[in-house]
Amino acid sequence: MRRTLAVAVALVAVLGALPLTALGAEDPRFEATVPEPELQPGVQQELTLQLVNDAADVDDSVTTATNVEVTARDGSTPIEVVSGPRYLGTMTDGVPRSVSFRVEVPTDAPSGTYSIPLSITYEYDGDERETTTVRATVRIPERPIFSVTDVDSDLYQDETGLVRVTIANTGSMLANDTAVTVASRNPALAVGGGQSLEVFVGELPTGSETSFVVPVTTHGAVGGESYSLQLQPSYLDEQSVTRQAPPSTIGVQPATDKRFVVTEVSTAAIVGESGSLQVTLRNDGSRVLRDASVGLESVSGALSFEGQPTTTQFLGSWAPGETRTVTADVTVPPTGAAGEKSVHATVAAQFESGVRTNSGPYEVPVTVSPEQRFSVADVTLDMRGTSAVLTATLRNDGPAGVEDALVHLESTSPTVQVLEPTAPIGSLGAGQTTTVAFDLGVAQGANPGVRQFDATVQYERNGDGPYRSDAIPLRANLPTDEDLFSVEPVNATFGIDATNEFEVRIRNEGDETLTDIRALLEVAPPYESQSASAYVASLDPGESTVIRFEVTTPEDAVPTTDALGVNLSAETETDHTVAAGPYLVPFTIAAAGAAASDTTALAVGAVAVILILGAGWWWLNR
């Protein structure tokens, strides 16, 4: 009995000293579980696994695995493993080990359950090295998936343009109250006037898409490269909880040039004068603009627009490729300098989507020409009774020739009136002179002396204009009256209560021939006239003629001496109308007897003449 017990104890001791495999342990066997299997799309995240070396049957055991190394792979899943192998060392039977991998789930990864393959390399029994693969099960949740299907950017330098984004819900869940926040991280681009702008999209069912427009403003020279904008969608889930979808990034590339091009500048700006500026711009964009207007701003203050530094002109609709011209009146002060000046043009308009845009500024070079100058010399004033002719020599002092020029004359004297204030002179080259003449009206009783006049020249230059010069002061001496005519009575004795012939001699006292001479008798009660005017075709210098009027005296007249005025007008050899008068011509009203005695004497004389003539005829024919 004792011997049997001793043998049994010895056998137990021997068996305890033997390895487990010797007792029937299985080869290493691995299993993977994921405590938190749900992965979030659109971000990198840690995926933590529980890895255990364990037999399939709980009553069995496995051999210890050494030098264990685990590598997670993408497999056929949309999940990307971004971390490398993990070394776990020794794994004994049934003892779990935690291992983490860095994974990234694409934003548009479909929802569902996926198995991530894990490649495990290990050793056992001292020198055996094996590789096996197990799988970790993960889940991508049901959700809306926002995918950008189209980006259409209309961006140019230094303006507010449009970015149209089309998004689709390719997920498995309806998105309610969808909004997208568009943000720029680059100071060269501003979204909605700032760094970000939220755009409300609304309901977006599965499989549907929608578009929205974002105003984006560029700053500086941004053309030629792509800039990123971040899109951050948000929505309400089935429990009305606001969820943030994974963000995405889109690229926009502004054009290398500007939307508008200044194609032509026409300047008529002259120092000290008012002129015009015409700016033609072309819409090189791809969209129709509405309610467009162009603003012009004088940068240096060297010019002004009707006294203001800016001016704006409304243009309305502006199609792509269309050119539009704005015209503005510009003034250069007399203290200004000639040369190139800078004007900025800006375009304000509205896209068809309702977004407002401001484009520019665009450089508009404006050439300011030197001041155009004129001078006046050889001013004379030739009196013609109550009219006069002012003549002067106008010189174009340059710097350039002028066309379609007019000289406008104004009198500063209340007793002298310019009857025809504008005299056309046509073209006048730099340094050339021309003579201008103006008809003046001089008030009766005007005192002789110096009179002041102001002449201005209106002209065009190189087809531009019209321009107007500064006033040119000129002085002329108003001489005493020099009568063009002398007037004297020839038959100036009237009867009482009688129709009388009034004969008057007029003489041209000037030194040029006068034509179209008209005489008008000034008749006032108690006298009357049925023929108070007379006409003479012409009078040479020193030539005289007799003109006749009819004068009726009243029945209650008494013998007396009186005078009637005669006014004369005529045309000179230079086609100027001159006027003189009234000339007072005396006459006598004789008593009735005196008038009869004169008549009797005339009758007796006539009879005597007849008798003498009869006697002579008899003598010659006897």
Is residue 456 within a helix (H) or strand (E), and if so which, with residue range?
strand 449-461
Record: fold of 373-478: Immunoglobulin-like (2.60.40)
Kindly tell me if the per-residue pLDDT of 16 is higher than 50.
no
**pLDDT for 609 beyond 50:** no
**C-alpha to C-alpha distance for 482 and 505, rounded to whole angstroms:** 18
Among 58, 62, 55, 85, smallest CA distance to 73 is for 85
The yes-or-no verdict on residue 604 having pLDDT over 70 is no
Q: Which two tokens stand for residue 337?
A: 């300098």
Query: Would you say 357 and 349 are in contact if contact means Cβ atoms under 8 Å apart?
Result: yes
Alpha-carbon gap, residue 282 to 289, rounded angstroms: 12
Least confident range of 50-54, 216-220, 612-616: 612-616
Output the CA torsion sign for 321, 217, 254, 234: negative
For the chain, domain boundaries: 25-140, 146-252, 260-369, 373-478, 485-590, 594-622
Measured distance between the N- and C-terminal CA atoms of the chain, rounded to whole angstroms? 236
Residue appearing with tokens 């695995």:
65
CB 118 within 8 A of CB 133: yes
Instruction: Convert 462-471 to b/e letters by CB count within 10 Å (16 or more is b).
Output: eebbbbbbee
Is residue 256 within 8 Å of residue 355, measured between CB atoms? no
Cβ atoms of 206 and 144 closer than 8 Å: yes
Q: What is the pLDDT of residue 17?
A: 44
Residue type, 582: P
pLDDT at 619: 45
Q: Which CATH architecture has domain 260-369?
A: Sandwich (2.60)
Indicate the class that CATH gives domain 25-140.
mainly beta
Checking DSSP bridges between strand 260-270 and strand 356-369, what pairing results, if any? parallel
**Mean pLDDT to the nearest integer, 181-209:** 92
- Which range, 5-9, 96-100, 598-602, is most confident? 96-100
Cβ(163)–Cβ(252) under 8 Å? yes
Residue 606 in this model has a pLDDT that exceeds 80: no
Structure tokens at 55: 């037999």
% of the chain beyond a pLDDT of 90: 53
Backbone angles phi, psi at 28, to 5 degrees: -55, 145
Closest residue by Cα to residue 206 from 173, 167, 240: 173
List the one residue out of 534, 548, 570 whose CA is nearest residue 385. Answer: 570
Residue with tokens 């005493």: 480
d(Cα 479, Cα 29) in Å, to the nearest integer?
Answer: 137
- List Cβ neighbours of 534 (8 Å cut-off, separation of 6 or more): 518, 519, 521, 547, 548, 549
More confident residue, 229 or 266: 229
pLDDT in tens, 493-517: 999 999 999 999 999 987 789 999 9
Give CA–CA dist 418/389, Å, rounded: 9
Q: Is it true that the peptide bond before 144 is cis, omega within 30 degrees of 0?
A: no
Confidence of residue 386 (pLDDT cuts 50, 70, 90): low
How far apart CA 218 and CA 154 sit, in angstroms, is 11
> Which CATH code for domain 146-252?
2.60.40.10
We find that the CATH architecture of domain 485-590 is: Sandwich (2.60)
In angstroms, the CA 183 to CA 191 distance is 7
State what percent of residues in the chain have pLDDT above 70. 89
* C-alpha closest to that of 326 among 294, 303, 365: 294
The 8-class DSSP code of residue 599 comes to H
Q: Is the pLDDT of residue 272 over 90?
A: no
Q: Same CATH topology for 25-140 and 485-590?
A: yes
CA distances from 98 to 52, 91, 118 (A): 9, 11, 13
CA dihedral 264, 270, 276, 279 (to 10 degrees): 20
Question: How far is it, in rounded angstroms, from Cα 176 to Cα 87?
Answer: 46
Q: Which residues contact 383 (CB under 8 A, 6 or more apart)?
A: 442, 478, 479, 480, 481, 482
Residue 151 in contact with residue 211, Cβ under 8 Å? no
Question: 370: pLDDT confidence band, cut at 50, 70 and 90?
Answer: confident
Contact 306, 329 (CB under 8 A): yes
- Sheet containing strand 97-104, edge to edge, reads 30-33, 44-53, 97-104, 80-81
Closest Cα partner for 35 from 90, 86, 99, 78? 99
- The rounded distance, in Å, linking the Cα atoms of 432 and 21 is 128
Residue 445's pLDDT band, with cuts at 50, 70 and 90, is low
- Between CA 293 and CA 299 the distance in angstroms is 19
Give the model's pLDDT for residue 326. Answer: 94
pTM assigned to the model = 0.52
